[in-house]
Amino acid sequence: MRPIAQSIGGELVTTKLAMRMEDSLQAFAVRAACFIGELDVPFSEEFDGHDFGATHVIAYVGDEPAGAVRLRWFQSFAMPERLAVIQRFRGHNIGGMLLERCRAQAQARGCNLLYAQALPRDVGYWEKQGWRRLVPEEAGAEPKRIVAMVKAVDPSKPLPEIEAPEAVVLRRDGQLDSTGMPHGTVSN
């Protein structure tokens, strides 16, 4: 993994928490560009009902929104998701910078575990960012659609006991006690 760039083309790379309407729109625009525009995710799956119960972190190159991540808060862990970097800004580890901001934010809140759900093809990326699989990969097991990844907020301490079932947090909050997934979502 490349070191996190402090500047790109003379423009400073910075992160900030979305605090105002306009900030949130920038985070949404980055996610829409990457997930809807590039990966063809339907709108209603990308904007799944969790956006206003979460914290967004935005990365800027100069004043241009270049990346975003959504951080959701649970009792025993914080969950970064919807990590996106605009195509032309990739290769500078802006993703790493966003995840580090998530880690610091979790630390500031007294949270000691980060949990994420990765596509199998992205597991290598998360491992390079210092994450590991929640459940070790079993040889010969059927490939998963989504892989649960974890990271300690303080790397000098052992990982706390983990109680997050692998799929429950994908559901809308209003559906947490139902068996259904959000409409249109492929089940795990």
Partner 1 sequence: MAEHRSAAMAGKPVVTIKLASTSDELMQCFALRAAVFMGEQACPYWEEFDGNDYAASHIIMYVDGEPAGSMRLRWFQSFCKFERCVVLKRYRGLGVHHAINSWCKDFARRKGFTKVYLHLQKRHMAMMEKEGFRRVDERVFKFSDHEYYAVYCELPPAADAVCLSTEPMIMNRPEDGLDVEGILEKSAVRGATNPHAPHAARVTN
| Positions that interact with partner 1 (CB under 8 A) | 25-26, 28-30, 32-34, 36-38, 40, 42-44, 46-47, 63-65, 86-88
Q: How many CB atoms lie within 10 A of CB 38?
A: 12
Least CB distance to partner 1 at residue 159 (A): 36
Q: Which is nearer to partner 1, 57 or 147 (CB)?
A: 57
How many angstroms from the chain centroid is the CA of residue 102? 9
Least CB distance to partner 1 at residue 91 (A): 15
The DSSP call for residue 175 is G
Least CB distance to partner 1 at residue 54 (A): 15
Q: How far is CA 134 from CA 104, 111, 138, 161, in A?
A: 21, 17, 12, 11
Tokens of 52: 């206003």
Least CB distance to partner 1 at residue 88 (A): 6
Calpha distance 172→97 (Å, rounded): 27
Alpha-helix runs per DSSP H in 14-142: 21-31, 43-46, 94-108, 123-128
Least CB distance to partner 1 at residue 72 (A): 19
Q: Which is nearer to partner 1, 31 or 103 (CB)?
A: 31
Least CB distance to partner 1 at residue 115 (A): 26
Q: Which is nearer to partner 1, 77 or 89 (CB)?
A: 89
Calpha distance 138→141 (Å, rounded): 5
Q: Which is nearer to partner 1, 66 or 111 (CB)?
A: 66
- In a 10 Å sphere around its CB, with 0-12 CB exposed, 13-18 middle and 19+ buried, how is residue 156 labelled? exposed
Q: Which is nearer to partner 1, 41 or 134 (CB)?
A: 41
Q: Which is nearer to partner 1, 23 or 127 (CB)?
A: 23
